[in-house]
Amino acid sequence: MKARYVLISAILALFSSIAVAGRVVSVPVSIDETNMFAQGDMWTARTADNDVEFIGCGIRVLEDGVGGIFSFGFCQAMDADEAEIQCFTENPDLLDAMKATSSYSFVSFSWEDDGFGGAECVRIGFSTQSWYLPNIKVKN
């Protein structure tokens, strides 16, 4: 009976460690200024050894002062080499895509020069597949 208990406990421990540590896809933030493309996963950026790496998108909803509502979205990223980009959009399809993000998302976005010294987001992608689980780092 004790051997069976030990065997079941070992199997459960194995499966739980795979659920937390297995299938982690670590994608550091990268910004390609030539092709106007940024990508990375939010968890890797949050747990990076440097203090500058980040990536993410968000939506701001504001009142326009005359009873209406104005919405715009933005994506921003900075890689470990401190290359930085921020783009904005009012495209309803891209705003809908931004609503689907989560804390462990892989994020990618493209931008174009908006003609006014800024950048306009033209494509935004998120992936929240199950293998984007946190990779728990143990610091000594």
Q: What is the pLDDT of residues 53-75, one digit of tens each?
A: 989 898 999 998 898 888 899 99
135 located within any domain: no
How many angstroms separate the CA atoms of 107 and 124, rounded? 8
Q: Strand, coil or helix: what is 42?
A: helix
111 located within any domain: yes
Residue 84 contacts residue 75 (beta carbons within 8 Å): no
Residues whose CB falls within 8 Å of the CB of residue 50, separated by 6 or more in sequence, listed in order:
80
User: Minimal CA–CA distance to 107: which of 32, 47, 55?
Assistant: 55
Q: Strand, coil or helix: what is 95?
A: helix
Tens digits of per-residue pLDDT, 69-106? 888 999 999 999 999 999 999 999 999 888 877 667 78
16 located within any domain: no
Domain of 78? 26-127
User: How many structural domains are present in the chain?
Assistant: 1
* Predicted TM-score (pTM) of this structure: 0.70
105 located within any domain: yes
Tens digits of per-residue pLDDT, 34-60? 999 999 988 787 788 888 898 989 899
138 located within any domain: no
How does DSSP classify residue 66? S
Amino acid 103: pLDDT: 67
